[in-house]
Amino acid sequence: MIYFTADNHFCHGNIIGSCGRPFKDVQEMNGEMIKRWNSYIKDSDEIYILGDFMYRGRGRDANEILSRLKGRKYLVRGNHDKFLDDPEFRQGAFEWVKDYFVLKYNGIDFILFHYPILQWNKSHYGSIHLYGHVHNSGEKHPDFGEKLKALGNNAVNVGVDVNNFYLVSVKQILERVKKENKGGV
């Protein structure tokens, strides 16, 4: 199975207050997100992380967390993934690290990028854009929320803050897009 996530911000204490995350401290947040991740992910599943896996952080912290998470992990780099430059980080923890990726699944192109973008490849031909970066601000900020609505129904925020700290499956994405488009993808 294929899953997506973004903006985990492991080891980032300030994200709890700034995004209203329901955790008392970073240890509880890290532990709960790891628990939810591993509750249904298998080692054979493909996990596409659309940036900001950690907030800055140290390589050894990233190594420790990644070693506890199930699945084959791919990273589309976000603006806070500085742990990648730490010499202590084990580069083999991810299958690959890229800035942008097009995943082809059942004849549909999934455009994977950390940031929401207004136009993407084949956007008028049924491709689906998955993004993160905005956390839950798209729902709370009236101007920003309107801008995100302008992306259309084939753009989906896969960040943990809007998905109850769970990963989102490709099937869930397809169902959501089909529902928003009144039956068509």
What does the domain layout of the chain look like in residue ranges?
2-180
153 in Cβ contact with 177 (< 8 Å)? yes
* 2-180: CATH number: 3.60.21.10
Q: Tell me the pLDDT of the chain (185 aa) as tens digits.
A: 999 999 999 999 999 998 999 999 999 999 999 999 999 999 999 999 999 999 877 999 999 999 999 999 999 999 999 999 999 999 899 999 999 999 999 999 999 999 998 889 998 899 999 999 887 765 555 555 555 666 778 999 999 999 999 999 999 999 989 888 876 66
Instruction: Specify the pTM.
Output: 0.93
E strands present in the chain: 2-5, 46-49, 72-76, 97-98, 101-105, 108-112, 128-131, 155-157, 168-169
- Nearest residue to 70 via CA among 38, 39, 93: 38
